Amino acid sequence: MSNYPGEIIQIHIGQAGVQIANACWELYCLEHGIKPCGHLAYKPTDSSYNTFFQLLEPQCKVEPRIVMIDTEPTVIDEIRTGAYRNLFHKDTLITGLDDSGSNFSRGYNYLGIELLERAMEGVRKVAENCRNLRGFLFFRSIGGGTGSGFGSLMIEKLADHYPKTTKIEFLVFPSPSLSSIIVEPYNAVLATHFSMENINVSFIVDNEALYEVCASQLNVHTPTYTNLNRIIGQVVSAFTASQRFQGSTNVTFDEFQTNLVPFPRIHYPLISYAPLMPLKSFPYVNLTVESLTTAVFHPGHQMVRCNPQEGKYMACVLLYRGDVSPTDINSTILNMKRSGALRFVDWSPTGYKVGINAMPPSFVPGGDLSPSNKAVCCIANNTCIRRAWCRLIHKFAQLYNRRAFVYHYVGEGLDEGSLSDASANLCQLVGDYEDVDSLGSK
């Protein structure tokens, strides 16, 4: 990996996306020695912060490479007045005046068009300060109106302006049984349909899986969104560590698509993380590479509810960080291959890609996670993810077969045919995964 690998711009859209920003940038600042005001706590010994932060000389202050957008101001106003109010440049905090009403069409058409020019101008200004823009990292929920509607519009526009730049997203996906928005299936199906061709890799996260992690792994039985988002922040930190810190075997941003996505449409891998231990366990648990690796293949460490045993693996990327030995990693993976516990498709010749980074994980003071000197993030493309899409299509059909709430979408400028087209597209996506499943296992 070169000394200056390039920059990544993060784009947080809608309430969920902006709230995740709080957790992510809180952790990034801890990892790079940056105070909430943006000043460096100590003189850096390398340029690792350059991936996510721009240095403002000569004041020895940094600004995040970020754009936050919401159609109404409430959530971003909390950032404007919060502990990190001096960290972000005001031009990158972009808000409208009206709520999207949990309506994809309203976010995509009416409110989206009003905000789009300002949002693109914000991205352009951040991109101008990049020497080697490597990619965009999106955060949004596809169950509401802004993340699904405006998020899809924004991604389309960025695909036009930056067609060769890698685009990866973290999606808050509708949970199997937890939902506060009755039209969530419409929004999620439309968002997936409109974005599928413009995103390289999408990581799915659902709140139900995060609630389960909090209850079963961290002994937090009544979690807030702060608890959930800090878990996401830790996962994102592990995923991006190799983009920021020098490592012996780093995985670059564009390599994720190369290694994980055998066919362009099948770009929704599972993501999991270990260790997930409650704070009271520290420092009593002795973590080994083998125990961490075994844990990330357990459904209880996944960020979305589905069972990998019901599908087949097409590819797997294991991102280790901290005090890990390459010898232990090779031995662990060899034992896994010999055991045959994980079913891979026949045409996946190697199956595993490994990244090793010496920088240990950081932890938020007062958080739920126990500190650890090592961690692993597993990103696995497994056909079992089709179960999540099947659940979503079924819920969509329950609404659409009765034409429930369709007039809300048509009234905001959506062609009714887009709903049936979107459903057909997702049915085809499930068919794509079933085709892969039928190719055999090894």
From residue 369, alpha-carbon distances to 117, 362, 366, 395 in Å are 40, 10, 9, 34
Work out the widest C-alpha separation in the chain, in whole angstroms.
Answer: 62
Number of residues in the chain: 442
The residues with which 390 forms a beta bridge, in sequence order, are none
Radius of gyration of the chain (CA): 21
Three-class HEC string of the chain:
CCCCCCEEEEEEEHHHHHHHHHHHHHHHHHHHCECCCCEECCCCCCCHHHHCEEEECCCCEEEECEEEEECCCHHHHHHHHCCCCCCCCHHHEEECCCCCCCCHHHHHHHHHHHHHHHHHHHHHHHHHCCCCEEEEEEEEECCCCHHHHHHHHHHHHHHHHCCCCEEEEEEEECCCCCCCCCCHHHHHHHHHHHHHHHCCEEEEEEHHHHHHHHHHCCCCCCCCHHHHHHHHHHHHHHHHHHHHCCCCECCCHHHHHHHHCCCCCCCCCEEEEECCCEHHHCCCCCCCHHHHHHHHCCHHHECCCCCHHHCCEEEEEEEEEECCCHHHHHHHHHHHHHHCCCCEECCCCCCEEEEEECCCCCCCCCCCECCCCEEEEEEEEEHHHHHHHHHHHHHHHHHHCCCCCHHHHHCCCCCHHHHHHHHHHHHHHHHHHHHHHCCCEC
One of 72, 208, 212, 255 is an active-site residue; which one?
A: 255
d(CA 427, CA 389): 8
Q: Is 255 assigned a catalytic role? A: yes
User: Which residues are bridge partners to 272 per DSSP?
Assistant: 302, 378
Contact present, 378 and 318 (Cβ < 8 Å)? yes
What number of CA atoms fall less than 13 Å from residue 275's CA on the CB side?
Answer: 26
* Residues with a known catalytic role: 255
